[in-house]
Structure 1
Amino acid sequence: MAVYTEVTPNNLDLLLKDFDLGTQVALEGIQGGIENTNYFVTLEQDKQQQRYVLTLFEELSEEELPFFVELAQWQAKRGIPLPYGITDRNGIAQKRLNDRPALLQPCFSGRIIDRAQLTPEHCAQVGTALAQFHKAGEDFYLKRQAHRGVFWWRSESSRIQSHLPEEDAKLLLAEVAAFDALREHADKLPSGVIHGDLFHDNVLFDGDQLSAILDIYNAATAFWLFDLAIVANDWCSLPDGSIDSERENALLSAYHAERPFVEFEYEAWPILTRTAAMRFWLSRLLPALGLEDNGDNDKKIKDPDELKQILLSRIRTPSVLPR
C-alpha cells in the first residue's frame, strides 16, 4: 500500500455523499506497497466510529476493475476474509475519485508477518484459506486471462534471452518449454479463479490467526495448483532459496485436507513449483535489466536472483504432494 494520488478531506466528503456510512473523522495515508494509493478512513455513525480503507487504482483501468470488484464481493459473501468494494445507496461499489477508479472497503485487523518469522502453523492456515478461496470461486461467472501468464512469459523469455548469460537464458527457456508440455494435459488439472499473488505480505494475521487475504488484483482463471506453487515458493523458502520441508508439508497437508488433490496433480506439482519460480524470476529480471519501465523511480526493484535460487532448488529437490 502507498500514496501516489493525494486525497483531501473535501475530496472524501464528495465521495461519502453517495454512502450511508456516517461522517468523516480522520483520513490517513497508508505508506508502503507498490501499485495503488491507499488511505485509512475513519467514519462516525450513531456515535460509533468505524475504520475503512479507501483505494485509488493507479494502474488498473476503469474497464479492468469490474472483474475484481465482482470477484471480491462473490468471495466475501462466501465467507472468505478479504477486502471488497462496499456498495453505495444505489448498489454501486466502483467509484471515481481524483481521476482514478476507487473503492471504499472494510478494514481488517492484523499485521503482515515477516517471512523469517513464518511457522508451519502460519503456512497451514494459508493453505486452508487458499483452498477455501479456490472452492468458493469454483462457479464464479467471470473469467480473466492472467496479465502475466503463459503468453506473456513465452514472448518475454524470447525477448530477454539475448540480455542474459547463456546459462540463465537456457534455464528460462527450458522452464517455459516444460510448462508448454504440461499444458497439453490441461484437462487433467483442476482450474478456476486463482489469487495469483498470495505472497506472505498479502496476508494479515491478528495475533497468530489469519484475519485477511489482501490484493486480489492479479487474480485470473488458471490452474489452482499453480496458485499453490506461488504460495509454497514464497512462504516456505529459506534465504538460500531452499525449501523448509516442515513449513511446506504443513501448507500442502492443510490445503489437501480442504481440497483433495486429483491424481494428475501429483505428476504436475514438481513442474508447477518451477513454473511459479520462473514466472516471478522473469518479472523481476525485466526491470532489473532495464527492459521494462518501472513506472516510478521510487519503486524498489526486487532482486531476481531470489527467485532464480528457488527455481534451482526446485530442480535439485523436487517437491512431492501429500496423499
Structure 2
Amino acid sequence: MAVYTALDGKDIREFLSTYALGELVSFRGIEGGIENTNYFVTTQRDEHTLQFVLTLFEELSQDELPYFIELCQWLTDRDIPVPYAIRNRHGVGLQRLKQRPAIIQPRFKGEHLDQQALTPAHCAAIGEVLARFHLAGQDFYLQRQAHRGVFWWRRESRLLLPKLAAEDQTLLLDAVAEFDRLRETHTDLPQGTIHGDLFHDNVLFNGTQISAVLDLYNAATAFLLYDLAIVANDWCINEQGLIDHAKETALLEAYASVRPFTASEQAAWPVLARSAAMRFWLSRLIPWLQENSTQKLKDPDEMKRVLLDRHDRPSQLPQT
C-alpha cells in the first residue's frame, strides 16, 4: 500500500456523501506497497467509531476491476477473510475519485509480521486459509488470465537477457522452459482462482490466527499449486534466505488437511516451486535494471537465492 494521489478532507467527505458510513473524523495515508493509493478513514455514526480503508487504483482500469470486486464479495460470502467493496446507498461499490477508480472497504484488525517472525504455526495458518480460499473460489463464475503469467515471463525474460550475466541468463531461460514442459506434460493439474501475490505482508494476524488476507489484485485463474508455491517461497524462509524445512512442512501439511494433493501435483511440485521463484525474481529484476525506475524496489537476489535453493534441495509434497 502507498500514497500516489493526495486527498484532503473535502475529497473524502464528498466521496462518503453517497454512503451511510457516518461523518468523517480523521484520515491518513498508508505508506509502503507498490500499486495503489490507500488511506485509513475513521468515521462517527450513531456514537460508534468506524474504521475503513479507502483505495484509489493507480494501475488497474475501471473495466478491469469488476472481476476483483466480485471475487472479494464471493469469498467474503464463503467466510474467507478478505476485504470487500462496501456498496453505497445506490448499491454501487466501485466509484471514482480524483479521476481514478476507488472503493472503500472495512478495516480489519490485526498486525503484519516480519518475515523472520513467522513460525511453523503461522505457516500452518496460511496453509489452511489458502486451501479454503482455493476451494471457495473453485466455482467462481469469472475467469482472468494473470497479467504476469507465462506469456509475460516468456517475453520479458528474452528482453532482459542482454542485461544479465551468462549464468543468470541460463538460470532464467531454463526455468521458463521447464514450466513450458510442465504445462505440456501435466494437463490435469487442478486449476482455479488463485491469490497470485500472497506474500507475508499481505496478511494480518492476531497471534497465530489470520484475521485478513489482503491485496487480491493479482488474482487470476491458474494452477492452484502455483499459488501455494508463491507462499512457500516467501513464508518458509530462514535467516540465510533459504527454505526452512519445518516451516514448509507445516504449510504443506495444513494445506493438504483441507485440500489433499493429487498425484499430478505431487509430481509437479518441485517444478512449480522453481517457477514461482523465477516469476518473482524476474519481476524484481526488471525495475532493478531500469534506469530512473519509479517503483519501490525489492531485492531480486532474494528470489534468485530461493530459485537456486529449489534446484539444490528440491522438496516434496506430503503424501495424502
What's the TM-score once normalised by structure 1's chain length? 0.96
- Matches of 1:99 and 1:187, distance apart in 2: 43
Given that 2:22 and 2:44 are in contact with CA atoms closer than 8 Å, whether structure 1 keeps it comes out as: yes
The equivalent residue for 1:320 is 316
Q: Is the 8 A contact 2:122 2:208 kept in 1?
A: yes
Deviates more, 1:236-245 or 1:155-164: 236-245
1-structure distance, mates of 2:204, 2:215: 11
The answer as to 2:283 corresponding to 1:283 is yes
Distance 1:241 1:270 in 2: 18
**In 2, Cα distance between equivalents of 1:139 and 1:285:** 35
Gapped regions of structure 1 (runs ≥ 5): none
- Partner SS, residue 10 of structure 1: helix
Q: Measure how far apart 1:238 and its partner are.
A: 2.2
Mapped pair 1:300 → 2:310: no
Moved over 2 A (4+): 238-241
The answer to whether 1:144 aligns with 2:144 is yes
- CA offsets, 1:200-222, max 9 Å, x none? 00000023321100100011100
Q: Distance in 1 between matches of 2:222 and 2:164?
A: 29
Q: CA deviation at 1:161?
A: 1.3
* 8 Å Cα contact 1:240/1:309 also seen in 2: no
User: 1: CA distance between counterparts of 2:207 and 2:242?
Assistant: 27
Query: Does residue 267 in structure 1 map to residue 267 in structure 2?
Result: yes
> Where do residues 54-203 of structure 1 align in structure 2 (5 Å cutoff)?
54-203=54-203
Distance, in Å, in 1 between the alignment partners of 2:186 and 2:13 is 49
Q: Which stretch of the first structure deviates more once superposed, 15-24 or 192-201?
A: 15-24
Q: Which residue identity does 1:301 align to in structure 2?
A: L
Partner of 1:3: 3
**C-alpha displacement of 1:186:** 4.5
Give CA deviations for 1:270-289 in whole Å, capped at 9, x if unaligned: 00000000000111111111
Secondary structure at 1:184's aligned position in 2? helix
Instruction: Quote the Cα distance in structure 1 between the aligned partners of 2:297 and 2:187.
Output: 37
Q: Amino acid of the residue matched to residue 213 of structure 2?
A: I
SS in 2 for 1:33: coil
Identity %: 58
CA RMSD of aligned residues (A): 1.2
Shift in Å, 1:8: 1.4
DSSP 3-state at the match of 2:62 = coil
Distance in 2 between the 1:95 and 1:124 partners? 37
- Unpaired segments of 5 or more residues in structure 2? none
Distance 1:179 1:202 in 2: 26
TM-score, length basis structure 2: 0.97
Residue 222 of structure 2: aligned partner: 222
Q: Which whole-Å deviations, capped at 9, do the CAs of 1:43-91 have from their partners, x for residues lacking one?
A: 1111111101100111111111111111111111110111110011111
Q: Secondary structure at the match of 2:187?
A: helix
Q: Output the amino acid matched with 1:19.
A: Y
The letter for the 2-side match of 1:269 is W
Q: Which residue does the alignment assign to 1:213?
A: 213
Q: CA deviation at 1:241?
A: 3.3
Aligned residues: 319
Instruction: Supply the distance in 1 between the matched residues of 2:233 and 2:30 (Cα, whole angstroms).
Output: 28
Letter in 2 for 1:214: L
